[in-house]
Structure 1
C-alpha cells in the first residue's frame, strides 16, 4: 500500500529539515502557519508565520552551534487533515547535551501544513537545556 499523502508530506518536511533545505520546508507550509512549542524557555511559545518559523529553526541551530538534529521514528496520519509524528531530537549547548523523544501534531489543509503543535517527553528538561533568552 502507498503511504498516505499527508504522511508523505510530513516525511518530506523532516527530510528537508535534516538537509537544512529551508526552501523546500517553506513550500510545505502556508504563509500563516503557526508552530506551538511547549514550556517556558526562549524556544517556547507560539511562532506565527512561515518566515518566523524558519527563523525559529535557525535559532535552534544557532543555539546548538549546528548540532541540533531530529531522527524521525514514525508518522501517523488520520486521513482527515492531521498527522502525528514521533521523533528523537539531539543537540549540544555549551557543556550540555540532550537527547529526548518528542513529537509534532500537524494540521494539514490543501496539502500544506497550517498548524504544528510540538510535544516533548520532559518539558522541564527541555526548558533547562534551552534556557531563557540571553
Structure 2
C-alpha cells in the first residue's frame, strides 16, 4: 500500500499480500463475487491455463469474474480450490491449491498453482499453472 501521509512510498509486504490472496480463495469458494470484485483491480489480467474453451487471457475485472462464474456453471457448482499453501512475497504471491470439479460423469482433481501480482492491496494479475493442463482441457471440453 502506498503511504502518502508522510511522503514515503510503502509497498504491501509479504504477509499482507498473502492475506489478500487467502481472502480471495475464501470468497471464490463461497461464490462471493462481490467480495472478489473488491479484491481485484479494475484492470486485472488473468491467464487461464491450457488451450481449451475456458483458457486464455481475461482482461479486466468483469472478464475475470465471468470466467470464475463459468467454472462454477460448467461444473454444476462443484468447483473448489482447496488451499494447500500461500507463499507471500512483496512482488509475487503464490497460491497452491487442489482443484476439484465434477461434470457429466467426469472428475477433475489435480494440484494447481496461481502466481498473483498485487499492487496497493489489489490483485492486478493472476497466472494459473496446473499439474496436467491437457487433463484440464479435456475436463472442460
Q: Match of 1:67?
A: 78
Q: Which runs of 5+ in 2 are unaligned?
A: 1-13
Q: Match of 1:91?
A: 101
After TM superposition, the runs of 4+ consecutive aligned structure 1 residues lying more than 2 A away are none
Q: Match of 2:35?
A: 24
- TM-score by length of structure 2 reads 0.88
How far apart, CA to CA, are the structure 2 residues paired with 1:75 and 1:48?
24
- State the 1:123 CA deviation: 0.8
Q: Match of 1:107?
A: 117
Q: Which runs of 5+ in 1 are unaligned?
A: none
Structure of higher CA gyration radius: 2
Q: Alignment length, in residue pairs?
A: 128
How far apart, CA to CA, are the structure 2 residues paired with 1:89 and 1:110?
28
- State the 1:95 CA deviation: 1.3
How far apart, CA to CA, are the structure 2 residues paired with 1:19 and 1:61?
11
Equivalence map 1:1-134=2 (5 Å): 4-78=15-89, 80-131=90-141
Q: Please, what is the CA RMSD of the aligned residues?
A: 1.0
Instruction: Look up the SS of the partner of 1:4 in the other structure.
Output: helix
